[in-house]
Structure 1
Amino acid sequence: MHHHGHSHANDDENHEHPVASRKQMLWAVILTSSFMLVEVVGGIISGSLALLADAGHMLTDSAALLLAFYAMTLSAKPADSQRTFGYGRLQVLAAYTNGIFLIGLTIWIVWESIQRFYEPNPIQSTTMLFVAILGLIVNIVVFKVLHSASGSNINVRSALLHVIGDLLGSVGAIVAALIIWQWGLLWVDPLLSIVVSMLILRSAYHVIKDSSHILLEGKPQELDTLKIREDLMALEGVVDIHHMHLWSISEQEPLMTFHALIKDDYEGDTMIDVMLEQLRVKHGLVHATIQIERTSCLENTDAVTCVDTAVK
């Protein structure tokens, strides 16, 4: 069996983008987590569950941002003998864990909100309003910081979605505070909390869905297996492509392995180069491992002749 064809020329490209956006990530983490504490305190003082829910949302943001930052630091770590693919998966695993945690948080907020519909507690609307406005400002700043950093990184993108949700949360809290201040309708607060927790739940669902797809060795969304096979089969000298596996380590690193049955009169190494080149140019697949098989294997049952004769 001959496994060859890992092209290492483009290995660096996975680790280029983090450096610039890492600093921005760190800022986003610091801003978000420090404001989350402000919101917790504000929520407790003003008696507003909506602020606490929003703080919960901020916590998920901080987690998402921290993960992204951590992943950027780690994915720059080289692969070692124990983890031959490097640490790219860690960010996916972390995102998955985060998603599970968010679901727990949502349940708590909803439970608490239902209690409050029955027995509303007094709310200091001015404190609530002040904290909510502050929250809006912080979120706008974080959004600006991240927006400039979001390239093709699953973490920055999910973090950005979190922040947009948060922006809406802050706007909601401002409106709720105004309503309570003006008309004293205390049930607006638990109602908003439920809305915010639905936002949290939605982001949790997406995070879990995307990360578990990668963890289950699912096919990268943007690549089409059938199309890739069709393109390879169209190459001159290729008889058949089988045992195709396509998966990804993190969202940025697709990998592929397959067996290629080629005609006897074609040179194995040349064919590998041709196929690798096509995968890179047409599909952006940099990592592929190809096993070459010969057509003479079909007529001949003797296993020895099936070994690629062109490679000594």
Structure 2
Amino acid sequence: MGRTDVGARDEHGHRKPGHGRGHEDGHEHGHGHGPDHGHAGHTHGVSAGADRRWLSAALALITVFIVVETAVAVLAGSLALLSDAAHMLTDAFSIVLALVAMRLSARPARGGFTFGLKRAEILSAHANGLTLILAALWLGYEAVRRLIDPPEVTGWMVLSTALVGIAVNLLATWCLSRANRSSLNIEGAYQHILNDLFAFIGTAVAGLIVLTTGFARADALATLLVSGLMLKAGWGLLRDSGRIFLEAAPVGLDPDEVGAELAATDAVTEVHDLHIWTITSGEPALSAHVLVEPGGDCHRVRRALDRMLAERHGLTHTTLQIDHADRSAEDDGRAPAGSAAGHCETPHGPVHLG
């Protein structure tokens, strides 16, 4: 068993760049974090506390309006207004979920949760996407039913309430736009509010048509349009959160290209077991097994790879296992020189040769 050199650590307990675990055989396993990497808070300058304040302000606005709009929807007999109220209820639910998720994700890593509860934010975004889709399906069904048999709708009540709803949702949307929308959690709540704003605009148009022409089906048609927007937004949230749960590489980052760049680095002979995933919104991570030519400087290679990953791809949470290629394996006929099979019992993923 080789000795371990703990090395310097930062305030999070992570090993600082340039410090790896040095083994007696000269091999190295490095875990580097660049200066821009942050485990707590947000990297764009908006604090978590400010996010919570903006979300809480939007929640207060929406909760008050839900009560008023539900009462008016029942009196006016408007499905569009009732659908808006139901959508706003999911808005309030989405903001509550986002606030709870922010609290959970801020807890430090401990015990079996080695990344903490950062994925709670992604769970919240996934739930928000699901509620958008379920609400859209229900509203779409009701809209079709009312197209077939339209009820009487009080146009002026629909129009006036929708105009107030537009004002409320503009304020709520502005509040959430001030928060950290790079977080999929907050983006989920934002999409709820934004779609509700579109819903109120559609409802206002429908109310005006009903008021001026008496065409009652405009109410149901506006609901169908909003249902389509909700389906689109909900699917986007499910897709993005699903990619994170399935450990897919961040959108726009090709693991094959990254592997080829790592393998093309001076003194590197092979890269395998390369994994790129997202811990939570805005926190991509990479791990890989890198083989260096015999006699190569493992420490120098790791520092060069860390720097390249940070500068070219913004990957600052990296774990690189650096080993010398085993030439004796080829001489003994056990495996090709420097191959993954010579170092890993069960190598997985493509192999990139230098």
TM-score normalized by structure 2? 0.78
Gaps of 5+ in 1: 308-312
Q: What is the Cα deviation at residue 248 of structure 1?
A: 0.9
Summarize the Cα distance change of 1:42–1:5 in structure 2 as closer, same or farther, 3 Å threshold: farther
Q: Is the 8 A contact 1:154 1:251 kept in 2?
A: yes
- Whether 1:264 and 2:297 are equivalent positions in the alignment is no
SS in 2 for 1:12: coil
Within 5 Å, give how 1:98-177 maps onto structure 2.
Answer: 98-177=128-207
211-220 or 111-120, larger mean C-alpha shift = 111-120
Residue in 2 that maps onto 1:299: 330
2:125–2:184 contact (8 Å) kept in structure 1: no
The equivalent of 1:310 in structure 2 is none
Query: Alpha carbons of 1:152 and 1:108: their partners in 2 closer, same or farther (altered >3 Å)?
Result: closer
Amino acid at match of 2:55: M
Q: CA RMSD in A?
A: 2.5
Q: Find out whether 1:5 has 2:36 as its counterpart.
A: no
Q: Tell me, yes or no, if the aligned pair for 2:33 and 2:318 is still in contact at 8 Å.
A: no
- Which has the higher mean CA deviation after the structures are superposed, 95-104 or 283-292? 95-104
CA contact (8 A) 1:241 1:258 kept: yes
Deviation of the 1:8 alpha carbon? 4.8
Q: 1:239 aligns with which of 251, 260, 269?
A: 269
Question: Matches of residues 28-107 of structure 1 in structure 2 within 5 Å?
Answer: 28-107=58-137
* Higher-RCO chain (CA-CA 8 Å, sequence separation at least 6): 1
Q: CA deviation at 1:282?
A: 2.1
Write out per-residue CA displacement over residues 74-95 of structure 1, whole angstroms, 9 at most, x where no aligned residue: 2221111121111121121222
Give the whole-Å Cα distance in 2 for the aligned partners of 1:76 and 1:96. Answer: 19
Deviates more, 1:90-99 or 1:151-160: 151-160
- Opposite residue 53 of structure 1, the aligned amino acid is S
- Letter of the aligned partner of 1:15 in structure 2? G
Percent identity over paired residues: 33
2:350 matched to which residue of 1? Answer: none
The equivalent residue for 2:224 is 194
Q: How far apart, in 1, do the equivalents of 2:193 and 2:84 lie? A: 11
Whole-Å separation in 2 of the counterparts to 1:191 and 1:52: 14
The Cα of 1:49 is off from its aligned counterpart by 0.3
User: What's the offset of the Cα at 1:151?
Assistant: 4.7
Tell whether the 8 Å contact from 1:65 to 1:155 is kept in structure 2 after alignment: no
Secondary structure, counterpart of 1:5 in structure 2: strand
Q: Could you tell me how far apart the structure 1 residues matched to 2:168 and 2:134 are?
A: 26
Deviation at 1:27, TM superposition (A): 1.1
SS at match of 2:32: coil
Residue matched to 2:283 = 253
Q: Note the C-alpha offset of 1:5.
A: 1.9
The reply on whether 1:227 has 2:257 as its aligned counterpart is yes
| More divergent stretch after superposition (253-262 vs 161-170) | 161-170
Which position in structure 2 is the counterpart of 1:282? 312
Letter in 2 for 1:276: D
Change (3 A) 1:105 1:166: closer
CA contact (8 A) 2:285 2:315 kept: yes
Q: Is the 8 A contact 1:129 1:177 kept in 2?
A: yes
**Greater helix percent: which structure?**
1
**Range that drifts further, 59-68 or 216-225:** 59-68
Q: 1:9 deviation in Å?
A: 6.2
Aligned length: 306
How far apart, CA to CA, are the structure 2 residues paired with 1:104 and 1:159? 16
Rounded Cα–Cα distance in structure 1 between residues aligned with 2:267 and 2:288: 16
Distance 1:13 1:84, change over 3 A: closer
- Check whether the contact 1:53–1:197 (CA below 8 A) recurs between aligned residues: no
Q: Distance in 2 between matches of 1:232 and 1:78?
A: 32
Structure 2, unaligned runs of 5 or more = 1-22, 344-354
Change (3 A) 1:30 1:5: farther
